[in-house]
Structures are given as structure tokens and as C-alpha cells.
Structure 1
């Protein structure tokens, strides 16, 4: 499995977990961050990034923010909301680095 597939699997796993009442585990966060860092190394400085990756990045960000809002406002789980907002911020920072 190449890093593109490994990254997509880690991001899908993270966002699906964020949608549950239990939320995300530190292991899923760590896996998503590590895979995103590896993906960044692969594409940083390249002329382009595959549209599938771009679309996943966009969907990931909106999904995580929505899930964080749900944990905060509906489930009253401030700790989980902070965790989700934090990983969303970290992942978007790495993605920005990939495109500079």
C-alpha cells in the first residue's frame, strides 16, 4: 500500500471515529498525523497534488469541524471537541506546508 492509500485510510478512519459518540482516540490521531506528514514529504515542492487528495483534504476539514461542533454543542463533550478541533488544525497546517 503506498502512502496515498495509507493516508486516505487513516483520514477516513479518523473522520468516521469523530462522527461517533465516543469520538477519536489518540492512536487514530497519531496515525492520521503521521500519514499526513509522510504525504507532505512526498508532495512538497511538486507542481501538483492529485485531485483525490485535494478533495479528501477539503472533506476532512469540514467533517472534523462539524464533528467537533457536535461534540461540543450536542454531546457537551468539551474534551473530545478540543481533541477534534486540535487535530483538524494540525492536519490543515501540515496540508498547507505541503502546498508551499
Structure 2
């Protein structure tokens, strides 16, 4: 089974990503303030797009949540609002 870092590397290596709201590119951002801004944008825009990449994003978020349950970064950036809007029952 591939690790998240291997998937991130494959994502970057597979093509030059042109999606400004790409979760994987956002996670790879080295500048912490830019990373937070990009992740927040990703979470805001994710429910508005129908994209197969979301399955990988949700899997990555789940893995991070399981390994770092006390990390407040995703909740503070809007992950719960994103997931609530993505729920088809809430539409």
C-alpha cells in the first residue's frame, strides 16, 4: 500500500498540476501561511466541484486525522463546513 507522501509524489510527477485548489499541491506547500490559505481555498471550493480526486483527498484527510487526532489545522481551515456542504442530503 502506498503512503500519502508516495501518492503526493505520484500526483506531482504525473503531470504539471494546473488546479489552483489542488489539495495535494496545497499540502506540499512549504510556506506555512501559503499552505493554510491554499488549504482553506481547497476546502471552500471542494463542494462546488465534482471531481474524482476528492476520493483521494478524503482518504488523505482521514489518514491525517487518524494519525494526528489533536491537530487543529483542518478544523480551523474549514474542513467540517466543507464536508457538510459535500453531503448530498444537505443540498
TM-score bucket (shorter structure) = 0.3 to 0.5
Please give the TM-score of this superposition, normalised by the length of structure 2.
0.40
Q: Flag the structure with higher helix content.
A: 1
